[in-house]
Amino acid sequence: MTALRPSVRDHHPARPSTTSEQPTPPAPESHPGPPASDRPAPGRRDADAMAVASFVCGLVGLLVMNLVLGPVAIVLAGLALLRGTTRPGRARLGLVLGIADLAVLAFLVSADHTWSWSIG
pLDDT at 117: 57
Distance in angstroms (rounded) separating the CA atoms of residues 64 and 11: 75
**What is the spatial distance between Cα 4 and Cα 2, in angstroms, rounded to a whole number?**
7
Q: Would the pTM of this model clear 0.75, i.e. be above it?
A: no
What is the 8-class DSSP label of residue 66? H
pLDDT in tens, 99-115: 999 999 898 888 877 76
Which helix (H) or strand (E) segment holds residue 65: the answer is none
Task: For residue 84, name the pLDDT band (cuts at 50, 70, 90).
Answer: very high
Which pLDDT value is given to residue 26? 66
**CB atoms closer than 10 angstroms to residue 92:** 17
Please give the residue that has the higher pLDDT: either 118 or 47.
47
pLDDT band for position 51 (50/70/90)?
very high
pLDDT of 2 over the 70 cut: no
Is the pLDDT score of 65 beyond 60? yes
**Residue-range domain boundaries for the chain:** 42-112
Report the mean per-residue pLDDT for the chain: 78
Query: CA 54, CA 79: separation in Å to the nearest integer?
Result: 10
- Chain segment 4-37, per-residue pLDDT in tens: 665 555 555 555 555 556 667 666 555 555 555 5
